[in-house]
Chains A and B, each alone.
Chain A
Amino acid sequence: MNVTPELDSRFREAALLEGLVDVRYDVVESPVGDLFVAATDRGLCRISYWPDGMEESLAHTFGPRVLRSPLDEVRRELDEYFEGTRHEFDLTLDVRVAPFHADVLAELARVPYGRTETYGSLAAKVGRPRAARAVGTVMNRNPIPIVLPCHRILGANGSLTGYAGGLDVKLRLLQLEGAMLA
């Protein structure tokens, strides 16, 4: 006895309407592969290039009531970004990280479309000029890549260094944005 798609979406809508969901997620297709996206009532909380184990990770951070459901606004803004028509995201974010990470991510959010910074210059901006390596760790654990643009952060010599989605994706995003690369 299989649940029909109609019955299934009716339940998901009722669950959201009643405010019973800690965190909802969706999978958004993009030119750089499927993106796992998640949001709480407070805002977008996760984008991941790797869906495996993400439900468990969300449950751990936000609570066990994890439910798949369409995130239309996030999908629309990401579509526009990949079409090149959107240079800034208007999504509210729910970032739950340690204070130093929060400072670095707030500064990261100010790096404009099509521009790049280095790990060292970002460290200097949060008043920790010698913390380039720690900034690298923050980038590495960025919960909302693309929207929090860690792809715009390069090594001191202009090298791509690393990226959760792979260096090819990092390069592709920078090319999409028309960033000048060394």
Chain B
Amino acid sequence: MRDVAPPIPPFERFYLEHRDEVLGYLRRLLGQRAEDAWQETFLRALRAYNRLQHASNLRSWVFTIATNVAMDELRTKPQAPVDGVAVAELERDAFRELEHLTGDLPPTERAAVVLRYGYDLPYTQIADALGSSEEAARAAASSGVRRLRRTHERHA
């Protein structure tokens, strides 16, 4: 048996499918600075698109790019403001309560928490996005959640 990877879709289709959720993700990580990062994310995707070998996991691929762009941004200009507009879209209750506080998290923990609880990505794909092992991704998310709880309790 041979694995048959899905064909690479025309970029337009890929773009329409992911542009909104990637913007939402970057807003959670970067607040008002998300728009430039969003454009940079899809330009990077387009630069690499004709070298893609297969179309498995294009969603986690574009989240990886977005995470890299956001990390670069957070490292050079830390303390991103986090706006509250994205809160209403969230599906996970626990995360919904805590999400407005993720701006205080270190970049890696913030990305891990948002990808896991905001976008429901499995840890294998979060690890890809963070360029780390699955264990490290799990640790970053759980450390982020613990940190959020402590902050939440202080504010409560």
A and B physically associate: yes
Chain A 1-43 interface residues, beta-carbon cutoff 8 Å to B: 1-3, 7-8, 10-11, 14-15, 18, 20-22
In the complex, which residue of chain B has the Cβ closest to the Cβ of A68?
B12
- The answer to whether A59 touches B10 (Cβ under 8 A) is yes
Provide the A150-169 mask, 1 if CB < 8 A to any CB of B, else 0.
Answer: 00000000000000000000
Q: Would A14 and B39 be within 8 Å (CB), given that A1-B23, A55-B10, A68-B12 are in contact? A: yes
Q: Is B15 an interface residue (CB 8 A)?
A: yes
Taken residue by residue from 1 to 41, chain B's Cβ proximity to chain A (1 for < 8 Å, 0 otherwise) reads as 00000001111110100011101100100000001001100
The binding surface of chain B is classed by DSSP as: helix
A2 to B35 CA separation, bound complex (whole angstroms): 11
Determine whether B46 belongs to the interface, using a CB cutoff of 8 Å to chain A: yes
Contact A20–B46 (Cβ < 8 Å): yes
CB distance from B134 to the nearest CB of A (A): 28
A3 neighbours in B (Cβ, 8 Å): 19-20, 23, 38
What total of chain A residues lie within 8 Å of the partner, measured CB to CB? 23
Task: Provide the bound-state CA to CA distance between A8 and B12, in Å.
Answer: 12
Chain B residues with Cβ below 8 Å from A20 are: 43, 46-47
A1 adjacent to B27 (CB under 8 Å): yes
Give the nearest-CB partner of A55 in chain B. Answer: B10
Assembled-state Cα–Cα distance A165/B22 (Å): 39
- The reply to whether the CB of B74 lies closer than 8 angstroms to some CB of chain A is no
Interface string of A62-88 (1 = CB under 8 A from B): 011111100000000000000000000
Give CA–CA (A20, B42) in the complex, Å.
11
Complex: how many Å from CA A55 to CA B8? Answer: 12
Q: Which residues of A contact B19 (CB under 8 A)?
A: 3, 8
**B residues apposed to A, CB below 8 Å:** 8-13, 15, 19-21, 23-24, 27, 35, 38-39, 42-43, 46-47, 49-50, 52, 85-86, 89
Contacts from A to B (Cβ < 8 Å): 1-3, 7-8, 10-11, 14-15, 18, 20-22, 55-56, 58-59, 63-68
